[in-house]
Amino acid sequence: MVSINRLRLMLSKLNQQRYYLEKSCEKIGKMLPVCVIFRWRKRGTRDFQSTKAGGKPVKQEEGKVYSYMTYLEGGVTRHHYIRKDELDNILPKAEEYRQFSKKLAQIRYLNKRIVEILDEIGKIQMEEVKKHVKEKKKRTGTGRKEPRANRKAKDKKEE
């Protein structure tokens, strides 16, 4: 079993990591919530090869590169062709959104770990209830009154 001091130390480290991630999320600039996909086709064929954004794929010796942005609109995934002159504007914004999403996922994981550690601390600090409950003396059934429903039934029988 882990000691409370060790759990508190872990908790402070997780809080510090979360703080730095939150601050870095605040500093992220303009974002575009899309994923950029690059597809290229060899000349003379109809086969496409594709890769997701992170950077442009290495161009094939022959062939043409096409770029698309993929986004969610009303619960439906949409694809939109990006012209070459627009690509330099869209790609950095899409990358910022990708970095922001990764940081948010890390923050969610840290929050989950923080709650787990707080639960462990709570379990360690919890006292047993039996220490605070006085033991009751057992009664015999002679001094008790009968339940009201039974008394009414007996009264009807007697009449």
Are 117 and 10 contacting, i.e. CB atoms less than 8 angstroms apart? Answer: yes
The pLDDT score that the predictor gives to residue 126 is 82
pLDDT digits over 59-69, tens only?
A: 454 567 788 99
d(CA 149, CA 134): 32
pLDDT digits over 78-87, tens only?
A: 999 999 899 9
The pLDDT score that the predictor gives to residue 104 is 96
The pLDDT score that the predictor gives to residue 18 is 96
Q: What is the DSSP letter of 135?
A: P
Q: What mean pLDDT is predicted for residues 8-23?
A: 95
Question: Residue ranges per domain, the chain?
Answer: 31-102
CA angle centred on 78, ends 74 and 79, rounded to 5°: 165
- Nearest CA among 111, 106, 110, 93 for reference residue 28: 93
Confidence (pTM)? 0.65
